[in-house]
Amino acid sequence: MKKFRFFINFSKEEEWLNEMAKSGWDLNDKNIKYEFSKISPKNTVIKIDYRNFKSNDDFQGYIMMFKDFGWKHIAGKRNSGKQYFKKIDDKAGEDIFSDEVSKAERYKKLSNMWLTLAICYVPIFISLITTKVINVAAFLNPKLFYYTPGLWEKTGEYFWKAFLFETPFAMMRGILWLFFPFIIIVYTIFALKAQKYYKKINLEI
């Protein structure tokens, strides 16, 4: 079974994954979607770290280190950021972190990732505006989304045929132009939320 969910709060994501295991669904992998396999319902302890690695050797060493401490790596790639671990040894602790500072650092890394993505889109958006690929004035004057020469001088049947023909293209144009500011705003919001969780944990330490 595959499920799509989105989390910024690691604790809530861990809670949900553990509840899925109690319902008989074991996490196998996580890319865009979560992939589960059917199992007998059981209590499982799943924890999430956030880390990227420069080399595959570093990544494999990281996985082996956790395995030695009783945690199996069940999802996550070298550059995926989120790394998912399942407790496989009863003697292992209840968390993969030895202190709250390390746990908080996950949110700082996550916040930096979202902020970096937001910043990457800014010069692209500015470049599209300066080269006039995106016409900002069109959002104040929607007629500018229509490229048919002389459209607004046409009348009657000729106008409506041309107008209705081009409207889907004009709408698509507007949606594509809005993509960049939308994605910049969304990524910035995600970064701020992750930063909020980071500060909250630090205040509780």
Nearest to 1 by CA among 15, 85, 16, 24: 24
The pair of structure tokens assigned to 96 is 């993969």
CA distance 12 to 26: 17
In the block, residue with structure tokens 């505006």: 129
CA distance 197 to 205: 13
Strand (E) or helix (H) holding 202:
helix 156-204
Query: What's the pLDDT band for 91 if we cut at 50, 70, 90?
Result: confident
Please state the φ and ψ torsions of residue 147, each to the nearest 5 degrees.
-100, -5
| DSSP, res 86 | E
| DSSP, res 90 | T
| DSSP, res 3 | E
Residue 71 is predicted with a pLDDT of 96
Residue 201 is predicted with a pLDDT of 87
- What residues does each domain of the chain span? 2-87, 100-204
Query: Tell me: the pLDDT tens digits for 159-204?
Result: 999 999 999 999 999 999 999 999 999 999 999 999 999 998 887 7
Query: Tell me: the pLDDT tens digits for 98-152?
Result: 888 889 999 999 999 999 999 999 999 999 999 999 999 999 999 999 999 999 9
DSSP notation for 8-38: S-HHHHHHHHHHHHHTTEEEEEESSSEEEEE
Query: Tell me: the pLDDT tens digits for 29-61?
Result: 998 899 999 988 888 899 999 999 999 999 999
Residue 43 is predicted with a pLDDT of 86
Count of beta carbons in the 10 Å neighbourhood of residue 169? 13
